[in-house]
Amino acid sequence: MLLLIQYTLIFASVLLLVALGGCFSEHSGVINIGLEGIMVMGALGGALMMKYLPDGTPAVAVILMVIVASVLLGILFSLLLGVAAIQFKADQTLVGTALNLLGTAAAVVIVRAINMAENPDNVSTTVSYMKEKEAFLMKIGKFEFNWFMLIALILLIVAYVVLYKTRFGLRLCACGEHPQAADSVGINVYKMRYAGVIISGALGGLGGVVYITAGVSEWKFENGVAGFGFLALAVMIFGQWKPINIGLAALLFGLFRALSNVYTGFDFLMKLNIPGTLYNMFPYIISLVVLIFVSKKSRAPKAEGIPYDKGQR
């Protein structure tokens, strides 16, 4: 049971961070379907930073440098969406889908090239970071605490305050609801939408590195992030684009995702005799069920997905 709680909290942290990123982007008026690809690129930045950090680097420095690397790469990759959707008014769904395909493919090529440069016979797509990963963990009895759990909680509080208690947040939401009205009072809609996309890139990239440090000491990038970007979108919709609701939804989805990791012990304890493959399917089944029941009542920002044209009124 302790292991189930541990995995629930870490997976909920991943979903929370990425869903909050999508929330900021959509509140600005830009649909970010590309969260999966952004997660992969953030994971790549964090993994490479852990791989090349010199031995003996203090734990605090490891955490900070890995966070910076994953956030920066997530932001850079998300700017592809920003330029295409905001500057060139491209279809946001198509651009996001392209980012998902590009993210995994680019990460595989980069990692394979690095491994081949270090060892010509090594064509794997795996990055190892065993020792550096220990910097993120702290043992509390039998419970393994990951510092990203605390970071996710802090960012949830910050997201709530920024969206609802600051001028920036109110302007951001205005650009997602009625950009023409926002523009009429002097708000630069393009800048606010870029800000929303950049924040989504930062949080998505951070969510990617949290995912790969959850329970493994190396990562094969051709596996991507197992659909967590799409699960985060479901969490965001289930949470109705509100940070606190998103936090609660992340816990629910995190629980079902954690069951697929510890299903053997849980099934033995509950004597359910459910096949392991069904546990692996739980998060995605729940996503479909949630979207079926929530989609009719969900209230997304009115102008999301609609390219802003300054000449229209």
d(C-alpha 140, C-alpha 242), whole Å: 32
Q: Please say whether the dihedral angle defined by the alpha carbons of residues 198, 199, 202 and 205, taken in this order, is positive or negative.
A: negative
Domain ranges within the chain, ordered by starting residue: 2-225
- Residue 110, C-beta contacts closer than 8 angstroms, at least 6 positions apart: 44
- Residue 262, C-beta contacts closer than 8 angstroms, at least 6 positions apart: 3, 4, 7
Look at residue 309 and give its three-state secondary structure: coil
- Kindly report the pTM of this predicted structure: 0.93
Render each residue's pLDDT in the chain as its tens digit; 313 residues: 788 888 899 999 999 999 999 999 999 999 999 999 999 999 999 999 998 888 888 989 999 999 999 999 999 999 999 999 999 999 999 999 999 999 999 999 999 999 898 888 878 888 887 677 778 888 777 788 889 999 999 999 999 999 999 999 999 999 999 999 999 999 999 999 999 999 999 999 999 999 988 756 678 888 889 889 999 999 999 999 999 999 999 999 998 888 877 765 555 445 556 666 777 777 788 888 877 877 777 888 999 999 998 766 5
d(C-alpha 269, C-alpha 305), whole Å: 46
